[in-house]
Amino acid sequence: MVVRTFLVRHDDSTFTVDYDTDDGFEVFQFQLFSLTSIPPDEQKIVGEDNDRIVSDDSDLAALSEKLQLISITSDEARKPEKQEETTSSTAGAGNFDAGTSVMSDEELARMLQAEEEALLLQQYVAGDNDAQFEEKVRPYISKVLLYEDPVRQEVARKTVPLDNLEEKALVSLAKEGNFKPSKVEEDHAFLLQLLFWFKRSFSWVNAPPCDGCGNETTAQGMGNALPSEIQYGATRVELYRCNSCSRVTRFPRYNDPLKLVETRKGRCGEWANCFTLYCRAFGYKSRLVLDFTDHVWTECYSEALGRWMHLDPCEAIYDRPLLYEKGWGKKLNYVIAIAKDGVYDVTKRYTRKWNEVLSRRTITTESSVVSVLTSITKECRRNCTSQVLSILEEHDNIEREALERDLRDDAPISLPGRQSGDKQWRIARSEFGTDSLSSSSCTVRICCDEHVTKIYNAFSSILHKFVEDSLTAPKGVEVLKILRATVVDLKKLSYKKRRASLKPNSIVGTSLVHQLLPSFKELLNALTLKSELDSNGILSVCLAGNPVQTALALPVALHALDELISDLSKCDNFSKGSLSFPLLRLNRICSGAVLASGEELPFGIATAAFDGTRMSKWEEHNGAKGCWIMYKLSANMQELVAYELMSANDAPERDPMDWVVEGSNDGGSSWHVLDERRSEMFDKRFQRKTYNVKSAGFLSNMFRFRFLAVRDVKSTSRLQVGSIDLYAKQN
């Protein structure tokens, strides 16, 4: 461990920062965030002696102790800098990371020189095959026009659980603190939920199961298409023989998305074809994207981001255009986007090695590519009015400029190999890469989890009422089961119209439910619900405010009730003395800022550890041998007296086993060990383990978990945690 002391000047203030070089540059940025409230992705750190920009550990090592911190949103940061060009990615709804890349004039000159040389070489190696290039693209024009058919769109819409996806979209925004999103933000979030739903509802076909007995089959070659198959564009039919009963199963490769909405199976061609129809059915400006190296995906124009966004339905990955080159290791050549109003060469969006790609674009010359695409686009637009043409041409120019900028933006991110398809098939295509979800260093995220703390606190009133009314633990469990059943009923209903009754049972009668009703009020408030008694004496609960707040809180209440029922069932002598931690989980810390050494996108982000549900988890792709997560308080310093960890839904080998918990009272400049654990084992999934802090009495405004090892470091590179709950000393 090496500690360096930096003097960091920001505006009119100077801060002293003690930095442990073992922690990494991101921790240093988080320390500055704690002191100045400038998030890491908005920080520009400059050495005062030589004006060198600091972007990693090596830069820090080469500089003296005097630094200057500038916010990139300030006027000073927006001034043109000599020898520097800065491009920031836009963080919109659902876009989880914002990175900054810097390209010097020298690097830009080298890139342009390499491009010129590649273009010069291409003149000698490119063929004169305009017709071959056009034949590759033109068949897709008729395919994308099918997406405009109102009948096909209506059939597609009817298969979508619209209310459910709307709820998930709004909850995803609420988790970021956005309870009143604009229409643009809602549309963006809904599109992402449509992508995730499609991934779950569509089936990938390696070899279809036998039509007769359902056993595995082996490919036997191609067969002739039947008229009923040709009707839906299946000009190719694959044949498979059953390994058990020898029956032959047909796998028609349908091209009509209307049929694909019915069959819901295929490979990347069927997936992208069908998903693009869904996107058009819900009004998104969409394109089918053809990769000449044998892949297909979708692009949609995101009003929230103000640009075209990549969506791969096979992988359920979005806005990661470098997935194929960086993650899969593809050697791209031509990537063409096809829409109803034209065809577009978007290859530059999907590569950061343009000069290498140029060397592989040998079907025809670049000028011929432009000529062919321009000609097809004019055909697509021949019935457009002059006003529409003007708008389309303006959009074309904007996109061309954006594609040129994309070539210079290379924010660091780890991307996965291909996940869809049989493992051997992926390896044979050289697309296997790493068997991981998309991972990234993470930005500072705010925990919108006040509802979790309110729900935990609300059970205090209920349990105290049990003791006051001398209810036994078994009877108290029955009351909680009634509450749980009500929560389950509410979750099944439309998020806009939730209403369910509190149903007494043979053990807990109506009179007891009414007697206990006042103790339920705090829990109902935490769920944005209220109770109502109708003229027939039936007690119901219904919405009392923003339905999204209820949608966000119901899963937390359900999982908390499950745990409380389990804990209360184990109470042999339920009394006032039982009303303590961990049966009562009071004073849970919430609404802080979180930063981690890494996270999995989009489902394993750092704040997932603090959202109070079993449906999510924090994953660190490279965390098996060491990683960290930090939590910065939003208010005054607190004394941490206990914490809880929960195992995640799967993969026991990724459970944390060794860790250290630390606190800081100076925003992360220095750390004090609060607790250490070794050889901890989680026996089952969703197991919550409670730990009292060994080193009490230390006030902190930041906490850090340093996970040192997972349960089986030999079999995994990842760490995952289902949840983390921090508890402060009660005043």
Burial of 570 (0-12, 13-18, 19+ CB in 10 A): exposed
Closest Cα partner for 177 from 686, 629, 455, 594? 594
* Residue 559 to residue 55: CA distance in whole angstroms: 42
| Cα 271 from chain centroid (whole Å) | 20
CB 533 within 8 A of CB 527: no
Angle at 166 between CA 297 and CA 455, to 5 degrees: 125
Catalytic residue among 210, 242, 268, 447: 268
Q: Give CA–CA dist 288/300, Å, rounded.
A: 9
Residue 570 token pair: 């184990």
Would you call 268 a catalytic residue per the annotation?
yes
Q: Shortest CA distance to 122 belongs to which of 315, 474, 357?
A: 357
User: How would DSSP label each residue in 227-285?
Assistant: HHHHTTT---EEEEEETTT--EEEEE----HHHHHHH-EESHHHHHHHHHHHHHHTT--
CA distance 578 to 667: 37
Please work out, in degrees rounded to the nearest 5, the angle formed at the alpha carbon of residue 550 by the alpha carbons of 544 and 554. Answer: 130
Q: Are strands 237-242 and 248-252 parallel, antiparallel or unpaired?
A: antiparallel
Question: Residues 10, 210, 256, 295: which is the catalytic one?
Answer: 295
Active site residue 312: yes
Q: Residue 107's CB: how many other CB atoms inside 10 A? A: 12
450-468 and 547-569 helices cross at what angle (nearest 10)?
Answer: 50
Enter the tokens of residue 658.
Answer: 């060794």
Which member of 187, 256, 291, 312 is catalytic? 312
Catalytic residues, by residue number, are 268, 295, 312
